[in-house]
Amino acid sequence: MRLSPAAEAIPRSGIRAMAALAQGREGLLHLEYGEPGFFAPEAVRRAAARAVMDERIVYTPTDGPADLKQEIARKLLRVNRVAVDPERVFVAHGGVGALYASLGSILGPGDRILLPDPGWPNVLGQVYTLGAEPVFYPLAAETGFRPDPESWPVDERTRAVLINNPSNPTGALFDRAMLERIAAVARKHDLWVVSDEVYDQIYFGEPPVSMLEVYPEGTLAAFSFSKTYAMTGWRLGYAVLQPGMRDFTTKIVESCYSSSSMVAQRAALAALTEVGEGEIGDMVASYKATRDRALEILDASGRRRYVPEGAFYLMMPVPRGVSCESFARLLLERKDLVVVPGSTFGARASQEVRVSLAAGRDVVAAGIARILELTEELEQGGARLGL
C-alpha cells in the first residue's frame, strides 16, 4: 500500500534535523532556531492565565473572534499603514497557518508559484501538499539577497509569487521601490502576491512597507504574533485576505484544524491592547545590538558580505569544497555550536549556514567566532580533516 506522493516530495526541515542531532548534548550554543530569547510580555501571560481560570475554553469561529479581528485591523492601520476591514482578517494557527490558508485559497494541482531561493522551507511543503509546482527565483548575497522581478520565469501556469519581507533566512528587507517592481510584474501577468510579513515589526532602520499598501488588489499577507511578542509556542497568526474570500478560506481551514486556540487568542488580544511600543522596541533594540556585534566581528575578520536589515538572521558562507551539511555537523561535533545548513532554505544557499541572531549578543558573538575558527582551520588544512 503506497503512501502519499505529495508527502514523499516534502523535504524534512533541516532546522528540526539539526535540533534533533543536538538533543541530549549539554554545553552547546544554540543558533539554529529563530526564536526570541525573551518571555512573552507579562500582560500576554496574565491574559492567558485569566482565560484558563475564569472562562470556559471552547471552540471559536474558524476565522477568529470579532474583537481580536478588530484589534488586528487597528494594528494594521497603526503599524503597517493599511486600512483593512476586520472581515478580511483571518486568525490562524501561527504564521504557517496563515500562509496555508492563503496558498490553499489560490493554488490547485498543476498551478505554479514563484518561491524565493533561499527561502523559508515550510512553504515548499505546503505547495507540494496542494499539488502545485514550485518555481524558484534567485536571491544572492551580492545583491543583498534582493530579487530581480523582471527576470522571473512567468508562464501561463504561474498563478502567484511569494515574497518574505523582512526575510527568513537572510534578514534582507525590500524597500518600496523593490515592492513597486514586484507589483508591476504581478499586474502585468495577473499574479497573486503572497506576502510573508511575519517579521514586520523587527527592523533596524526604516520600517518595512507592506505589500498590501503597494499592491492592494492582489496581495494576500501573512503575519504572526510569534516574533514581535516572543510568542512562538502560542501558535497564533493571521492572514489578510481579499474581499469576499473569507467563506472560501474558511473551508480550507475547517478541513485542517477547525479553529485556533482560544487561550492564544485571549493572549494575542492583550498583546495588541496592553503591550506598549516601548516593550516591543526594547526587544528589537536587543536584536539590533546583537546584529551590530556580529557585523563588528565579521568586519574585523574581513568576512562581512552584507547587512541584515530586519528579522534576526545572518547567512554565512562555508569554506570552498565543504558541504554546508558537513560544516554544520563539524560545528556541532568540534565547536559545540548548532546552526542550520543553508541547503535547508534552497539550492542557492548550499554553500551557506544560517545563524540566528535571536539568542543574545554574547551567545551570538561566541558562535560567530567559532564559525570563523572552523572556517580558518578548514581553509588551512581541510585535507587533514578528511574533507
- Domain spans in the chain, listed from the N-terminal domain onward: 5-39+277-379, 42-274
pLDDT score at 382: 56
The values of phi and psi at residue 39, to 5°, are: -70, 150
In this structure, are residues 37 and 359 in contact, taking their beta carbons and an 8 Å threshold? yes
pLDDT tens for residues 9-19?
A: 787 778 888 88
**What is the C-alpha separation between 324 and 340, in angstroms, rounded?**
8
The values of phi and psi at residue 101, to 5°, are: -60, -40
The mean pLDDT value of the chain amounts to: 94
Q: How confident is the model at residue 383 (pLDDT cuts 50, 70, 90)?
A: very low
Give the three-state DSSP class for 189.
helix
Q: Is the pLDDT of residue 387 over 70?
A: no
pLDDT score at 84: 97
Q: Grid coordinates representing 32?
A: 539554529
Q: Identify the H or E element spanning 29.
A: strand 29-30
In this structure, are residues 102 and 223 in contact, taking their beta carbons and an 8 Å threshold? no
Q: For 42-274, which CATH class? A: alpha beta
Fold exhibited by the domain 5-39+277-379:
Aspartate Aminotransferase, domain 1 (3.90.1150)
Q: How confident is the model at residue 66 (pLDDT cuts 50, 70, 90)?
A: very high
The mean pLDDT value for 198-220 works out to 97
pTM: 0.94
pLDDT score at 5: 80
